[in-house]
Amino acid sequence: MMYKPEILMSEKTIRNKTLVAFVVFFIFIAGCLFAWKWLHQQPMENSALRPLRSVLNLNERIALGFFNNDRYTKSYSKAMAAPKVRVNGSAGLEDNADTANWKLHVVKAPGDTLLISMAEIKALPKTEIIFDFKCIEGWDQVTHWGGVRFNDFINKYGLTAASGLHYAGLITPNNKYYVGVDMKSMMHPQTILCYEMNGAPLPLNQGYPLRLIIPVKYGVKHLKRIGTLSFSDERPKDYWYERGYDYYCGF
């Protein structure tokens, strides 16, 4: 039965039924307002309200459950890459880089740090990627990068044990910008340790000499000027996470 036949009701019944229904309705509205107020009274966890933070973490677990390394970010032709690449952040690049003496520090285990020079990194096979770089602010730009596939880098330097951990942490040489990335995303075939942009060495404001390009993440994770790379099962500290953003930030 979809549309019920007429029912006879006395004025009194109508009044009473209306009253009861409206009382329930106002309790519902009050409940909504109360829930909203309650939510905003919850303690902060890394600058996000705890219930929201918990659901972000839940969303991350679901996303990682579905994460598939066979799914690629769409590639574009060289002609489509922007000649002028947007610069949107300089945290971690405040100091003049001692680029001449720059070496990548790779912490294999506590007290066991590898130092790798740019020449050694460039000796590895080069991978190029032209993809739609997506900023957490909502803009995007097709850009062209070149470097070493992180996956290849791990194999070449015998870091497979370290890469079996859940996270990689990256920090700029001045320790002012830092990100943590889940290992599934790090090992994605399109993730590169990048030293070229538009076929030329990275400009200083794009993270010379070496930056991360990780197309399965928002731009905030593409750390410029890598100083130290480390591995852990716990979440490494993350600059924007501390400022209230999602830790995962993945596509």
Partner 1 sequence: MKKTINKHPLAIRWLHWINFPILTVMIWSGMLIYWANDVYKIGWNDKTILKFFPTSFNKALNIPFRLAEGMNLHFFFMWFFAINGIIYFFYLLFSKEYKLIFPTKNSMKESWQVILHDLHIRKGLPPQKKYNAAQRMAYTGVIVMGFGMLLTGLAIYKPVNLNWLCYILGGYEWARIEHFTITMLFVLFFIVHVLQVILAGWNNFRSMITGFEVIKEDKNLHLATNQNIEMEHDSSIKNNSDDVQA
What is the binding site for partner 1 (CB under 8 A)? Answer: 1-11, 14, 17-18, 21-22, 25, 28, 32, 36, 47-49, 51-53, 55-56, 59, 63, 66-68, 71-74, 132, 134-140, 215-216, 240, 243-246, 251
Q: Shortest Cβ distance from residue 31 to partner 1 (Å)?
A: 10
- Which of residues 154 and 220 has its CB atom nearest to partner 1 in the complex? 220
Token pair 């060289």 is found at 78
148 within 8 A of 192, measured Cβ to Cβ = yes
- Which of residues 2 and 200 has its CB atom nearest to partner 1 in the complex? 2
Residue 204 burial by Cβ neighbours in a 10 Å radius (0-12, 13-18, 19+)? middle
- Which of residues 88 and 232 has its CB atom nearest to partner 1 in the complex? 88
Q: Shortest Cβ distance from residue 95 to partner 1 (Å)?
A: 27
Omega before residue 209 within 30° of 0, cis: yes
- Which of residues 208 and 245 has its CB atom nearest to partner 1 in the complex? 245
Q: Shortest Cβ distance from residue 234 to partner 1 (Å)?
A: 22
CA distance 39 to 178: 30
Which structure tokens are listed for 164? 């079996």
Contacts of 102 (CB under 8 A, 6+ apart): 118, 173, 209, 210
Contacts of 125 (CB under 8 A, 6+ apart): 148, 149, 152
Token pair 């997506």 is found at 134
- Which of residues 7 and 100 has its CB atom nearest to partner 1 in the complex? 7
- Which of residues 68 and 101 has its CB atom nearest to partner 1 in the complex? 68
DSSP 147-167: EEEHHHHHHHTT-TTGGGSSE
Q: Shortest Cβ distance from residue 68 to partner 1 (Å)?
A: 6
Q: Shortest Cβ distance from residue 115 to partner 1 (Å)?
A: 33
Dihedral of CA atoms 97, 140, 76, 154 in degrees, nearest 10, equals: 40
Q: Shortest Cβ distance from residue 56 to partner 1 (Å)?
A: 6
